[in-house]
Amino acid sequence: MKIDLNTVKKMAHLARLEFNEEGAEKMKQDMTQILDWVEQLNEVDTEGVNPITTMSSEVNVLREDVVGEHLSRERGLQNAPQKDSDYFRVPKVLE
């Protein structure tokens, strides 16, 4: 499938992209290559091949959620450089 400059300009407008003539020509070539590659994939016989949902065969190793002992508020604030009753005090970062 061939892409012409008109198609590139229409897609650029829809995507709010701006190209100079050189960039539009390069984009036309790249898009033509992509569509040619997809056409090649369409020729591959995939009968009996299960679709994949991930590119990796690794499995996540998860641990059990176990309720443990948590720090009390007082102990959590014990080494805070600045605190205000129940909260950490930090420098203002937004005006």
Query: What's the whole-number average pLDDT of the chain?
Result: 88
Per-residue pLDDT at 36: 92
Q: Where are the domains of the chain?
A: 5-42
pLDDT in tens, 51-91: 888 788 788 889 899 999 988 888 888 888 888 888 888 88
Give residue 30's pLDDT.
93
Biggest CA-to-CA distance, the chain: 69
Instruction: State the residue for tokens 């443990």.
Output: 68
Say which residue the tokens 């129940």 belong to.
86
Q: What is the pTM of this model?
A: 0.48
Q: What CATH class does 5-42 carry?
A: mainly alpha
Residue 81 in 3-state DSSP? coil
Query: What are 13-49's pLDDT values in tens digits?
Result: 999 999 899 999 999 999 999 999 999 988 888 888 8
